[in-house]
Amino acid sequence: MQTPSSPPLHPIKTLENSTVSPPKGSVPDTSIPLNSFDILWLTYGAVQRLFFFKLPSFSTSHFISHHLPTFKSSLSLTLQHFFPLCGHVRPSSSSPDHYEIHYTDGDSVSLILSESTGDFQELSGHQPKDFKKLHPLIPSLTKESTSLMALQLTGFPNHGGLCLGVSIKHVVSDGTGFINFVKSWAATNLAGVPKFTPPLLHRNIISDSEKLYSVNLEAIRLMEAKLKVFSANVDSPDDELVCATFSLNKEDIKKIKDSIMSKYGSGFAAPFHCSTFVVACAYMWTCLIRSRKWPSERTAHFVFAVDARPRVTPAIPPSYFGNYLGCCFTEVKVGDVMDGDGVHVAAEAIGKAIDELMKHGVLREAEEWPRKLMALSSERPLSIAGSPKLGVYEIDFGWGKPVKVEVTTIKETGAMSMAEIGGGGGGGGGGGIEFGLAFPKHEIDAFQTCFTAGLQLL
C-alpha cells in the first residue's frame, strides 16, 4: 500500500482488510528448519509481483459478491498445502544460530481489497512509466515484518481491469516456489477444488552441510551490517525512477543468434551452448553497458541464479518449496563490447560460464558465493529476476491470463526482470522474451536508444 509520506498518484480506496488462513485444524503446528540455501535470504526483503488482468466488464460490487468468496476459499485451500507462507521465521529452540519457519494453527496472510480510478491501460502497458504509479498496488511487507506473505487485489472499475499484488519473503522460497504457489492457487480457484501437485516442504531432501550454513549465516550478517548488495537504485527516490519493458520476439532472437554464429564460419558450431537465454541476455547486457558509457578499461559483471533442482544428482522435484539456487558469475571488459562484435563477446562470456557451471556442478564453490557477491556490490552488476521457464503468463484464475506481469522488486535491486512474452507483449508471441528495467529516466532513455539501434542493425 502507499506509504503516508508518499501521496497517491491515482486515488485508491481500501474496501476491505482481511486475513485468510488454511482451514481450521487442517495443519498441525509445524516447524521447518531453514537450510543453507534459505539462510542466505534471512534478512532480504520481499519479492513483489503485480499480475494485471483485463476484465472489460469489471464491476466492484459484482466481483465482491460473485468472485471474492471463491477467491478467498481457494486461497485457504491452497494455503493448507503451502502453509509456511502463513508462518513466521524464528530462532530455533533446539539449535543455536539456526532458524526455522514456524506455523501455528490459525496463522494467516493479509488480503487487502482496494479500488482505483487510475488508468489500467497505462499501468499494465509496456511503455516507460513512472515507477511511483505502481507503488499503490504493491502489498506492504517490510523487512521488519514477521509475516512472510501479503496480498492485495485492486479493481479498476472505470477501465475494466484487476491487479493482483503478491509480496513473498525470499527466505521462504525462490521464484520457482513463488510461481508454483500462485499457479496452484489459480488452478484451485478455476476448478473449485485443489488441483495441483502438493509442494515438497521438508528440507531433508536437500544435501546440505553445517559448514556452508555457517558461512552463509555469517555472510548475511556482514551484508546487513556493511553492504546493500545490488541495491543499484537505493539512492534514487521513486519520483525519479522509470520502469519499462523491452521485448525480443522470436525473429529478433534468431537474428541475434545468426549474427553470433556467423563469427565461427559456415558449418562450424559455437564453442559454447548458444541458447535463447544466452543470446537474449547478451544483447540486453551489451545494450546496458553501452548506454552507461563506462570507461573502456572497466570490468562489467553479470550475475544470475540457476535453479538447482533439475541440475543435481539425484534431481530434486520441481514441486520443492524452498530456496535451491546456484549462482553463475561472468564478466567482460567494457571496451570489448563497445563495437559491432559486442553481443558476440558477451554471449561467449555468458555461454562459457554456464558450460563451466554445468561441467563442474551447479553448486560448485557455493561457499564462495557470498564473498563474490559482496565484492561486486559497488560495481552495479547486472542480475536477473525471474525466468521464461516460470511461465508467469500461463496463470489463470478464471479471468483469463494476465496481460502484464511486473516484478517491482527490481526497483530496489537494479536487476532486470525476465519472462516469456505475455498476451499484452509487443510483437512476436511464442518464443520471445520480455525484460523489465527500472532506472532513472535518463538511463532508460539511453538504454532504449541502444536497444532500438541494435535491432535495426541486425
Q: Is the pLDDT of residue 428 over 50?
A: no
- What's the rounded Cα separation, in Å, for the pair 200 and 309? 12
Q: In angstroms, what CA-CA distances link 83 with 80, 204, 361?
A: 5, 18, 32
For residue 95, give the DSSP letter: S
Burial group, residue 102, by CB count within 10 angstroms (0-12, 13-18, 19+) = middle
Over the stretch 139-180, which tens digit does the pLDDT of each residue have?
A: 999 888 999 999 999 999 988 999 999 999 999 999 999 999
Is 336 a residue of the active site? no
Per-residue pLDDT reduced to its tens digit, 114-139: 999 999 999 999 999 999 999 999 99
pLDDT of residue 433: 98
Provide the 10 A C-beta neighbour count for residue 204. Answer: 8
Looking at the DSSP bridge assignments, the partners of residue 166 are 49, 151
- Listed residue (198, 184, 204) closest to 81, CA to CA: 198
pLDDT at residue 362 tops 90: yes
pLDDT band at 240 (very low <50, low <70, confident <90, very high): confident
d(CA 120, CA 148): 28
221 pLDDT higher than 90: no
pLDDT, tens digit (0-9, with 9 covering 90-100), for 406-424:
999 999 899 999 999 986 5
Distance CA 308, CA 318 (A): 10
CATH number of 238-456: 3.30.559.10
pLDDT tops 80 at residue 220: yes
Indicate the residue type of 308: A
Give the pLDDT of residue 267. 63
Amino acid at the residue 376: L
In terms of CATH, what superfamily is 12-226? Chloramphenicol acetyltransferase-like domain (3.30.559.10)
Which residue of the set 135, 170, 174, 344 is catalytic? 170
**Fold match, 12-226 / 238-456:** yes
Cα gap 311→176, rounded to integer Å: 14
**Domain edges within the chain:** 12-226, 238-456
170 has catalytic annotation: yes
- pLDDT class of 233 with cuts at 50, 70, 90: low
Which residue among 130, 341, 355, 396 is the active-site one?
Answer: 396
What percent of the chain is modeled with pLDDT above 70? 92
**Mean pLDDT within 367-373:** 93
Q: Residue 382 has what pLDDT? A: 96
- Rounded CA gap, 156 and 409, in Å? 23
CB atoms under 10 Å from CB of 172, counted, come to 27
Mean pLDDT of 376-398: 95
Read off the amino acid at residue 113: L
